[in-house]
Structure 1
């Protein structure tokens, strides 16, 4: 009698919570796996975009400095660029304090016809079309000669849009948003499934270590289980910052929580100078010289090139390093083109930009320099592996179950045949 009472306790299976969580974890993972894999891999690839773009620049990034030579003005260099590459339109340039660094121009191919000009003002999300193809060109700042170019800009633009919207516009953005929410649920569900029923030496070893000397199925399970746990907190953090960018309601809530304003563009125009055709704008050189003085640590300056003469505010970034979407030890400012003074926006408008950039830096790993990038890259690789290892766990169990079912059927068939022979 005692054995009958104690045996059920020994054979007690998973709790109802773990069974429900396990079912959700499996089917949500199978439904969203390919999308999550695409989003995490593209996001991981974007982490080192600045280093790869610099590498692609090669020797064109540097020049031999002629004796007693003087750098050409940005206006002269832009004119030289237009003459040598007439099928492209520049939209910003980078200049450097180092005398041997080349002048870099970001540009896009022009629309094939004038009637497409209006369409070009609203770039499509698919990485091609009226907006043209992005590229960086490197010019000798002393002669204006184009030294080389790289379309790595275009590559990472496409990668970023795969990550954000699968190159499918608003529909793709919705799909990525839903997949991100599912991934967040998967991470929480994974923690519930990982949590041992009892903590002892055996469960601690299983939960925190990958067992050596095991077959590939057990090894794959350990990779999914153990690495999934170690990457949990940063993965949750990266997912939340991504959701903040994906959903306006979360963006606005974040802005309001930290002292920003949801839509600053409604009030910025009040503080910007009015266009006056009789006034002359300062030269690009004036802006560059002034910003190098006001930001002493700056080694690089990026200036946007206004598309219209009526534009009265220039965006100027002065920093130690300026990447595709990163700023190291510096600042981005909106400057009056007539006076060179920074626009005195309200505090909440300035906070909007700070919060927006900070959230992006936290999402991509720019928060901690090279350490932050390496850390985020590793987490991205682990997150990219989770849909794969999870699928292999399911596939292995499915085949194992099918094999057992087949063996049982064979045994039953064999017994029927033996019984038939005895009857005969």
Structure 2
């Protein structure tokens, strides 16, 4: 008896912590899980429902990055151009505008050869923007909602660990009962709900912990940096654009800026790339930043390349964001983080798994609340003997 007392006290303490953390964060966990579940297939659904028109491919060179930027800038004068995406094939050129405060996020789709404006898209409207806003900010102001989500995610991580501790039984017989549903016709809803919470939580937690861990990496910069250093990383984790090695850029005024030749240069050097996203220099001192996508549906193996504004000489990166094949193991792991988080790292099966795990996680706050509520109601309901005494006294 004496040996079991510390264990019982520890489990009681864990159960209390699990309960109150669950009650405190249940609604947040439900929203984050269900919106994450809906977000998983957003790229596939957007591709099917897109209103962006296709173009007929031509053999002529596409309009250059400066020209297409000027065309799009006439639509939103004074707004900051985040980048220009060349996808090739039947896709128009997409000029992306983004400003953080006040938030402005739109795209202008331009015909690659005629320069005609084909479509304008607002990324801050529609179903999936609503879903993402809920997932990241709970539809609250970003500075408030993001903090609530961040710390609730961390607490949910602790709850999964405490849940496994509470689930783990003392003997094999009980363990077998807790690995699958043992329902009969006489099994009451409280028992069914309890089993749902325990069994689903147990199986889901081992995979969910991966998705939560990757979420924490995206949420906390210090957590990402610490994890990266722990697995042997030595480079800078924060993204930065290097300066021009050849010095500040001075325009000759003849309209022959090197950036105008960037697309033929990129296509010649990386003919198998899926697309090229060009980011214009911050100022005359910084290089041109280009994302060269090497695969469809994933981001981790993209190449982050930087070119001197003066002569398009390639500039090396001092951060983890560089050429994928030249990255070390630690850099590759960290760069895989988003694709792991949404399941894309394993293709369609991975996304289906992410969808199911997110869906199961969204059920845990509900079943957990019902377990607590059932016990609370039971505790307040008089026992049969007490009810009989009450009836007699009346």
The reply to whether TM is greater than 0.5 is yes
1:413 matched to which residue of 2?
A: 390
Q: Secondary structure at the match of 2:91?
A: coil
Alpha-carbon distance in 2 for matches of 1:391, 1:199: 28
Specify which structure has the higher proportion of helix: 1
Q: Secondary structure at the match of 2:36?
A: helix
Of 4, 12, 26, which residue of structure 1 is paired with 2:19? 26
Q: 1:92 to 1:145 in 2, by over 3 A?
A: same
Q: Secondary structure at the match of 2:97?
A: strand
1:21-420 matches, cutoff 5 A: 21-58=14-51, 60-65=52-57, 71-84=62-75, 89-98=80-89, 100-108=90-98, 123-124=100-101, 130-132=102-104, 134-152=105-123, 159-160=131-132, 162-166=134-138, 167-200=140-173, 203-209=175-181, 211=183, 213=185, 214-257=187-230, 258-262=232-236, 269=242, 272-278=245-251, 281-284=257-260, 286-306=261-281, 308-310=282-284, 312-321=286-295, 326-327=298-299, 330-346=302-318, 350=322, 354=332, 356-403=334-381, 405=382, 408-417=385-394
Q: Secondary structure at the match of 2:314?
A: coil
Alpha-carbon distance in 1 for matches of 2:293, 2:237: 26
Query: Is the Cα–Cα contact under 8 Å of residues 301 and 316 in structure 1 kept in the other structure?
Result: yes
Alpha-carbon distance in 2 for matches of 1:273, 1:197: 69
In the TM superposition, residue 186 of structure 1 has moved relative to its aligned partner by 1.0
Alpha-carbon distance in 1 for matches of 2:124, 2:42: 9
Residue segments in structure 1 that go unaligned for 5+ positions in a row: 1-7, 109-119, 125-129, 418-424
Which deviations, in whole Å up to 9, do the C-alpha atoms of 1:306-337 show, x marking residues without a partner? 4x5525312212224567xx527542222222
Q: 1:410 to 1:383 in 2, by over 3 A?
A: same
TM-score, structure 2 length as denominator?
0.80
Q: Secondary structure at the match of 2:81?
A: strand
Alpha-carbon distance in 2 for matches of 1:149, 1:402: 60
State the aligned residue count. Answer: 377
Query: Is the Cα–Cα contact under 8 Å of residues 41 and 351 in structure 2 kept in the other structure?
Result: yes
1:4 matched to which residue of 2?
A: none
In the TM superposition, residue 62 of structure 1 has moved relative to its aligned partner by 1.4
Query: Is the Cα–Cα contact under 8 Å of residues 278 and 291 in structure 2 kept in the other structure?
Result: yes
Q: 1:241 to 1:83 in 2, by over 3 A?
A: closer
Alpha-carbon distance in 2 for matches of 1:270, 1:414: 86
Alpha-carbon distance in 2 for matches of 1:261, 1:164: 28
- The alignment yields a C-alpha RMSD, in angstroms, of 3.5
Q: 1:215 to 1:297 in 2, by over 3 A?
A: farther
